[in-house]
Structure 1
């Protein structure tokens, strides 16, 4: 296991980016190639790659790709591995280990990404222009696919920021309690966004900070049983956490008992619900036209 030391990355003006890997070795060549082509000017960038596959063969493939990457233009890659905590808790763990070297923010990014060459420059410009704004999350723009939700082109405000690529304000992240670790996968970005908004932090989209996300979710007909169960359980959990019991029941009827995974979905949801310590009614949560974790993508 390769570990990084805090003194390796001093707390200075560095853009730190967390990427969780889970059997992601196939995506690494494209991701690393795009990282090499980043135009960073004099900006230092550190990528924290953390493998959660819990598979030595897979980790060795990742290790090989990592060893072939040469530090260039102030860009460095740190590689480690940890248990498969899922998405939210996985990022929480990486943050806990490295918060002493983070400055005011950090970025989370999916491994199935291709970074546009001007991404870092545009991120720096946005951060400079927003330095006096109380923001919690800044969503990077996914290209050419994007989530089926809008943002205000003037204020840049949006309802929620996708965890596929988002800048997170460290102080705000700590204040709202980080990612909800009851959610293993899907919907944790929506949950975090809602808690940011409740705490009066802005959630914004950065239209010129672009990356290509090679997501499989563009075709919902091909989603796995795992994805189906976790998405629907998250939908129920988010409604229980932020809305009313009637909203939970209404959504349960929407996908119906005829769903072949109905019992598994409900079991997963109830397990998540039992661990929740506090419900917070958020009047703007339920929107009959918005299905937060299902149909997230549109081409």
Structure 2
């Protein structure tokens, strides 16, 4: 469908390739790609946009499959204006929705705030952490979130408390089309040296176990109750399984890889084949953790 977009103060581009912006380096284009100048710019666009037009936010594109037919509507990408961290008291940080986990955790370290070290290991941004209740190494976003500022699909700006987000494992009830523009995180007092040591431990564990230098999408499937997804995939004989240009990582079987020329269809089909084999082997139905968006070609 054709879609008229209003004037903006940031940048907006039609038919913008998304593959360069996601970790898998595959997939189609956004009908419109919008990088707002500030939260008001985002609010103005969403309030003026056809209410039927879909809106989706992307961060670093780490836990995302963009289907080959592209993404209709407006894709919102929060750039440098939203990559900010500010300490508001001895244990609390306010972070822009486009801020990386590395910047949040290192700022917390410098301010002597412990409890946010796990964000060092999640290759995403604050907006994604809040939406997906991102977590690693025994901690989740809901453990540190106080509240978040959100621009709803209507353009209305609201502040939501942690309790209003309906958190569960890798899930929130944040409304579709809403964009998290900032979040307030609270930790506990800590010593910078001890915080750095914990961040180093997490980074080393991640380096040892995950294929970080590959075109991948992070953890593919959620851990089912009482199980580890990687172990179920391994037991089903899927380690190294290949389909087209996509492969199950031999280093960590809950990661899918683009070996170089995989389409998003290859990657998604491989994931579905893994799910089928795991169900046949163990009776467990794996759920996707990676978000799959857009139109199949």
TM-score range, shorter chain: under 0.3
Task: Identify, as 1 or 2, the structure richer in helix.
Answer: 1
User: Could you state the TM-score of these two structures normalised by the residue count of structure 1?
Assistant: 0.27
Greater strand fraction, Structure 1 or Structure 2 = 2
Question: Under a length normalisation based on structure 2, what TM-score does the superposition of the two structures give?
Answer: 0.27
